[in-house]
Amino acid sequence: MTIGQAPICMGCKNYNRLDADKLSCTAFPQGIPDKIIMGEVSHREHVEGDKGIKFEPLSQEEAEAFKRAGL
């Protein structure tokens, strides 16, 4: 079995790390579209329905803090 790369969402400031039941974010609170999760569409550009919110990378400090918190 091959495991792909983690979705870009995991490195985004807008990703909802507190809801383990679904992949959601500020742009898509009801669930991130599969085409973004699967990497078929880049959310570095506007995607229909994203309310103007796009991928914003975490800073190194934010990424480390989330890692320490287990998020």
In a domain, 45, yes or no: yes
In a domain, 8, yes or no: no
In a domain, 52, yes or no: yes
Q: Which of 18, 27, 25, 19 is nearest to 49 (CA)?
A: 27
- Look at the chain and report how many structural domains it folds into: 1
| Chain CA centroid to CA 16, Å | 8
- pLDDT tens per residue across span 12-22: 999 999 887 88
- pLDDT tens per residue across span 24-61: 999 999 999 999 999 899 999 999 999 999 999 999 99
In a domain, 27, yes or no: yes
- For residues 62 and 22, give the distance between their C-alpha atoms in angstroms, rounded to a whole number: 21
pTM score: 0.81
In a domain, 7, yes or no: no
In a domain, 60, yes or no: yes
Six-digit token string for 36? 């973004």
Domain range spanning residue 18?
A: 14-71
